[in-house]
Amino acid sequence: MANLRDIRNRITSVNNTQQITKAMKMVAAAKLRKAQDRIIQTRPYANTLASVIGRLIQGQELIYPLLRETSEPKRSLFIVVGSDRGLCGGFNNNLFKEIELFVANNFENGKEAEGLSLITIGKKATTHFSKRSYSVDAKYPGFFDQLEYELSTSLMNDIMENFIKENIDEVYLAYNEFKSVITQNRKVEKILPLKAEDLVVADTYKAVQLDYIYEPDQESIINELLPKYIEMHFWKAILESNASEQGARMTAMDSATENAKDLERNLRLKYNQARQSAITTEISEIVSGAQALSDS
Amino acid sequence: MSTFNAKILTPVGTVFEGEVTGVRMPGTLGSFEIKPNHAPIVSTLQSGDVAVHTESGDYLFTISGGMVEMASNDLTLLAESVITE
């Protein structure tokens, strides 16, 4: 039978853990709400931008640098959006596994493939891929500490510049898409070269018939809007990943709290059993002692 | 005085939305003002000041480039970043 004091100590420590996980869950919930608000706030801008581009490119022959397709891409870049902090379940690991699988399936020499490089966003992604001998071009640990649009645009602008200069042939973006609080969608998608089909949007309610005045002209407008479209896409991915992270942490901490509760209940049962048996032993000792006295 | 609906949007939120009598903005080909019933137009903008005139007063914003679309008395201005004054 375990020592009473040992069990009591364990109960206290489980209880403390439970309080920590509970607090972390509540913090994640508050952050999640904020993250979701940020996604919602980008929507009017993103939707208008997409529909304007969609309307502009209709019936146009598209020859823009950002749409440059290469038949045999030589240099590929992966942008991996992870998280800065851990304790969020399989949020990071599942995504990394997906990327590793994708790389193994699509590149001849796997991670040693020539011309394959990574940009890692978030501390967890940075340490994971640096340790595994991937060629990491740029690291952004602590990216989510100060989440600002300007930061993501300047990062994306560098990449687009390299793409236009033909230093990179294709760019993939890997992130967790926010499905709901408890589910994340792991996504590995190609963001450059842009595909014309992706730009066409179904929403053409403002009638194509409208005879627009273009200033300066249709082509330069499209040329200016396409980078904005990619910047927006990237920013959205970052925000979604941020929201997913909080959601993942919330569910992970919730089940941790539940587990701690179970553990505590079991320990308490054990503790009471031990106490009970200690009392029983004591009583029987007293009774037998008393008996011995009265017998003599 | 007739008015039309105007919106100023940025990637981090909506900055202005309401009925206005005119909006002056820094187009790539020079500053211009859109009044009610303007013909449909799409124009890119450079950095500069956007002045929004409403019946109850004027608002001034400084933008760092963007674009504007006006169609059927509905103006949408997309700005990369906005400083409100």
Residues in B closer than 8 angstroms to A225, CB to CB, are 44, 67
Interface of B with A in 47-76 (CB under 8 A): 67, 69, 71-72, 76
Q: Would you put residue B72 in left (φ > 0), alpha (ψ -120 to 50) or beta?
A: left
Query: Does residue A213 form part of some domain?
Result: yes
Largest CA distance in chain B: 32
CB contact under 8 A, A215 and B42: yes
Count CB pairs under 8 A between chains A and B. Answer: 75
Residue A47 counted as domain residue: yes
Q: Report H helices in A83-205.
A: 91-106, 123-131, 149-164, 196-199
Cα–Cα distance, A140 to A121 (Å, whole number): 5
Interchain contact, B40 vs A212, CB within 8 Å: yes
Nearest to B11 among A149, A206, A213 (CB): A149
> Can you tell me the mean pLDDT for A73-96?
91
CA nearest to A242, candidates A41, A31, A25, A24? A31
Minimal-distance CA residue of chain B relative to A236 = B11
Q: Answer positive or negative: Cα dihedral of A110, A115, A119, A123.
A: positive
The mean pLDDT of A268-277, rounded to a whole number, is: 94
pLDDT tens digits along B25-64: 999 989 999 999 999 899 999 999 999 999 999 999 999 9
A220-234 mean pLDDT: 91
DSSP class of A143: G
- Could you say which of B12, B40, B81 has the minimum Cβ distance to residue A211? B40
Test B43 with A220 for CB contact under 8 angstroms. no
How far apart are the C-alpha atoms of B65 and B44, rounded to whole Å? 8
Q: Which of A24, A88, A173, A243 is catalytic?
A: A88
Specify which residues A120 forms β-bridges with. Answer: A80, A139
Q: CATH homologous superfamily of domain B4-84?
A: F0F1 ATP synthase delta/epsilon subunit, N-terminal (2.60.15.10)
Give me the mean pLDDT over the A239-256 stretch. 94
Report the CATH number that the domain containing residue A204 is assigned in CATH: 3.40.1380.10
A30 falls within a domain:
yes
- Classified as helix, coil or strand, A142 is coil
pLDDT at B50: 94
Tens digits of residue pLDDT in A141-186? 889 988 888 889 999 999 999 999 989 999 999 999 998 888 889 9
Query: At CA A182, angle to CA A263 and CA A149, rounded to 5?
Result: 125
Rounded mean pLDDT, A126-152: 89
**Cβ-Cβ contacts under 8 Å, A48 against chain B:** 9, 69, 76, 78
Domain-wise residue ranges, chain B = 4-84
Domain membership of residue A133 (yes or no) is yes
Kindly give the pairing relationship between strand A116-121 and strand A136-140: parallel
B10 touches chain A (CB under 8 A): yes
Q: What is the pLDDT of residue A204?
A: 54
Q: Which residues of A make CB contacts under 8 Å with B? A: 38, 41-42, 44-46, 48-49, 52, 56, 149-150, 153, 206, 210-216, 220-221, 224-225, 228, 231-232, 235
For β-strands A184-192 and A116-121, DSSP reports them as: unpaired
Confidence of residue B1 (pLDDT cuts 50, 70, 90): low
Question: How close A170 comes to chain B (CA, Å)?
Answer: 25
- Residues A116, A97 contacting (CB under 8 angstroms): no
Q: What is the tally of structural domains in chain A? A: 1
Residue A43, in any domain of the structure: yes
Range of the domain at A120: 25-251
Closest residue, chain A, to B76 (C-alpha) = A48
Known active-site residue A88: yes
Integer CA distances (angstroms), B33 to A49, B16, B38, B39, in order: 21, 17, 10, 12
Q: Which amino acid is at A93?
A: N
Q: Within a domain: residue A142?
A: yes
Residue A198, in any domain of the structure: yes
